[in-house]
């Protein structure tokens, strides 16, 4: 099978490409000309340079593909609605148009459990409420899903949707490496004591679930939450991780109300002075950490045969080993 992966150089995209190669697929990856390709080192894939806004490059990349995994997206807790819509919504539209024009059989949209926003609940599922949200990432992921399903129902191309949670594991440059100095210096902290549950998706488990969305007939026209199926708090996760790396456990915690106030102040200052970089603390992050964000994976288990293969302790061991190989001994 000939497969195209958008965002092939990213944390999820690169792991997905490598797993597809292990499965014997012929893999093409869409990347930007400025992309860091280090996570794809040694992977025998064909690179197509372009972007989600470049319809011509998408047409070239989609030509001859049987299946597209649309992973590329704007993933952040900071930025304008216009920016997120241009990538997450219009970019998805361009991918779907390219797929239809090329005769691609199926597109798997990699979305997020963030479509449910933050409602402090456990055992949510694919049909749980999607309350109004002020966050561009959550809103544009919802819009991308609606666009893709509408395209599917109109007969444009088969669509399946995978909703990852908080993705973690080896190769995580998106969040873990950015926290490296804080971890090594013992400067990490919690919000609300870290007592809330996260929706953890270990990278290898996640790509297994995403691939099932591409392979299984039962996935067509459906959305699936793909997490580790665990009930783990942020405190437990960070204590396990810091112990395995060999750095101090997080030592302090902010009350959610105080954290919210600080985040609001920082965002106001950054907006007033038109600072383009992300504030150190955002309302999105505070909302995420002060709410239980826990989901059932019963639907993926039943319809896809999905079963997380890597348990938490093994995932922590692998993640810590990778972290040390990249940044060195955490004690230094």
pLDDT above 90 for 184: no
Cα–Cα distance list, 322 to 24, 35, 241, 314 (Å): 26, 21, 12, 12
Domain that holds residue 35: 2-184+198-234+294-323
- Which pTM value belongs to this model? 0.96
What DSSP assignment string belongs to 156-200?
Answer: SSEEEEEEE-EEESTT-TTTTGGGHHHHHTT--EEEGGG-SBP-E
pLDDT above 70 for 331: no
End-to-end alpha carbon distance in the chain:
47
In a domain, 99, yes or no: yes
In a domain, 268, yes or no: no
Q: How far apart are CA 63 and CA 45, in angstroms?
A: 15
Is 322 strand, coil or helix? helix
Q: What CATH number does residue 39 fall under?
A: 3.40.50.720
In a domain, 269, yes or no: no
In a domain, 314, yes or no: yes
Residues with Cβ within 8 Å of 184's Cβ and at least 6 positions away in sequence, in order, are 247, 327, 330, 332
Task: Evaluate whether 171 touches 14 at the Cβ level (below 8 Å).
Answer: yes
In a domain, 135, yes or no: yes
In a domain, 254, yes or no: no
Q: Which of 18, 19, 105, 141 is catalytic?
A: 141
Q: Is 19 a catalytic residue?
A: no
pLDDT at 25: 98
Is 326 strand, coil or helix? helix
pLDDT in tens, 11-67: 999 999 999 999 999 999 999 999 999 999 999 999 999 999 999 999 999 999 999
20 exposure class (CB count in 10 Å sphere: 0-12, 13-18, 19+): buried
**Residue for token pair 């012929």:** 26
How many structural domains compose the chain?
1
pLDDT above 60 for 183: yes
pLDDT in tens, 61-100: 999 999 999 999 999 999 999 999 999 999 999 999 999 9
Task: Evaluate whether 29 touches 70 at the Cβ level (below 8 Å).
Answer: no
In a domain, 119, yes or no: yes
pLDDT-based confidence at residue 329 (cuts at 50, 70, 90): low
In a domain, 79, yes or no: yes
**CA gyration radius, the chain:** 19
Residues with Cβ within 8 Å of 288's Cβ and at least 6 positions away in sequence, in order, are 77, 118
pLDDT at 208: 98
């Amino acid at each position: 099978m000939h497969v195209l992966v958008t965002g092939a150089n990213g944390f999820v995209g690169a792991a997905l490409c490598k797993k597809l190669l292990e499965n014997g697929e012929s893999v093409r990856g869409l990347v930007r000309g400025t992309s860091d390709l280090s996570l794809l080192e040694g992977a025998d894939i064909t690179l197509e340079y372009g972007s989600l806004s470049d319809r011509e490059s998408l047409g070239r990349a989609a030509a001859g593909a049987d299946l597209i995994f649309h992973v590329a997206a704007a993933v952040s807790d900071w930025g304008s609605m216009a920016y997120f819509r241009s990538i997450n919504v219009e970019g998805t539209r361009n991918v779907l148009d390219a797929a239809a024009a090329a005769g691609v059989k199926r597109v798997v949209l990699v979305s997020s459990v963030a479509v449910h926003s933050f409602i402090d609940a456990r055992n949510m599922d694919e049909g749980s409420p999607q309350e109004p949200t002020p966050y561009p990432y959550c809103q544009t992921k919802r819009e991308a899903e609606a666009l893709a399903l509408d395209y599917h129902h109109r007969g444009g191309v088969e669509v399946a949707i995978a909703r990852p949670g908080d993705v973690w594991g080896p190769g995580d440059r998106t969040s873990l490496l950015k926290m490296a100095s804080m971890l090594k210096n013992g400067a990490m902290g919690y919000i609300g004591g870290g007592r809330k549950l996260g929706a953890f998706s270990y990278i290898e488990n996640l790509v297994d679930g995403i691939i099932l969305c591409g392979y299984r007939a039962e996935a067509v026209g459906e959305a699936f939450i793909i997490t580790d199926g665990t009930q783990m708090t942020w405190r437990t996760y960070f204590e396990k991780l810091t112990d395995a790396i060999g750095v101090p456990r997080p030592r302090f915690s902010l009350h959610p109300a105080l954290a919210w106030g600080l985040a609001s102040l920082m965002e106001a200052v950054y907006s007033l002075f038109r600072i383009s970089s992300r504030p150190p603390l955002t309302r999105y992050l505070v909302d995420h950490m002060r709410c239980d964000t826990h989901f059932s994976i019963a639907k993926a288990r039943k319809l896809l045969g999905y079963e997380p293969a890597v348990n938490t302790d093994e995932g922590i061991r692998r993640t810590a080993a990778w972290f040390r190989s990249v940044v060195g001994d955490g004690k230094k």
